[in-house]
Amino acid sequence: MVEEQPVVLVLDDDPDIRTALAELLTAFGMQVLVFASAAELLSGVIPDAPCCLLLDLQLPDITGLEIQERLSANDGPPIIFISAHGDIPTSVRAMKEGAVEFLPKPFTDEELFDAIRVALALDRRRKQTRAELADLQKSYARLTVREREALPLIVSGMTNKQSAEALGIAEITLQIHRRRILYKMGAQSIPDLVRMASRLGILETSTKRQPARSSSRGTQPRSRR
């Protein structure tokens, strides 16, 4: 698949800065979307392509930190703050909240492009991770109810016999379920299936399960003589 062209979003209330940034980035072959207000950005649709946001810290109606908080809650794009009024506490807070960079104005073209490259690479990884998880969830949805019951036991490290006993089924039936689960999930091996279960959050719950243990010997108290 051919990756969509990356997009740089620009939010700054100064029209001259918006225009200058748009012209600079476009001249270097980047696709740019500009926004004059927070409302315009937040009411729009974030592109599916890899993207990042150049965000002015001080806006008339809302601060850049507040926008960062809202976008983070909705899995928004990586943010590069640009500001002529930044201070150390504000920049530290922005970085702690996940900002890629905090660029005080004026900044060089090299500083800007370096930050953009890092931000776009980060967004590519995020989108790839989300796509892989979505594929896993689709595969998991193909499992039958019984297969979903068997999966946590299989990845927990229990033996086939222990898993079968926990489900109240024959061991041969458990082995059939295991083969079908591997096939439907697209797993090449049990370790591969364990990694998938971990991504889906299944492994965490399965590790809490304790295999049922039975003993032919009773634990009768010794009689005193």
Check if the beta carbon of residue 54 is closer than 8 Å to that of residue 11. Answer: yes
Q: How far apart are CA 134 and CA 188, in angstroms?
A: 19
Its pTM stands at 0.76
The answer to whether the CB of 126 falls within 8 A of the CB of 100 is no
Burial label, 111 (beta-carbon count in 10 A; 0-12, 13-18, 19+)? middle
Mean pLDDT, 10 residues at a time, the chain of 225 residues: 81 93 94 93 89 92 91 92 81 89 91 96 94 95 96 93 95 96 96 95 60 42 41
**The predicted structure's pLDDT at residue 204:** 55
Q: Is the peptide bond before 106 cis (omega within 30 degrees of 0)?
A: yes
Assigned token pair, 67: 């926008």
- φ, ψ (nearest 5 deg) of residue 15: -60, -35
Computed on alpha carbons and rounded to an integer, the radius of gyration of the chain in Å comes to: 27
User: C-alpha angle 34/7/2, rounded to 5°?
Assistant: 155
Cα 19–chain centre separation = 33
Q: Considering only CA atoms, which of 39, 51, 108 is closest in space to residue 75? A: 51
* 130 burial type by CB count under 10 A (0-12 exposed, 13-18 middle, 19+ buried): exposed
**Count of residues for the chain?**
225
Structure tokens at 6: 């990356």
CA–CA dist 162, 182 (Å, integer): 19
Q: Where are the alpha helices (DSSP H) in the chain?
A: 15-27, 38-42, 64-73, 88-96, 109-141, 145-155, 160-167, 171-185, 190-199, 202-206
The two structure tokens encoding residue 127: 């989108």
**What pLDDT does residue 3 have?**
63
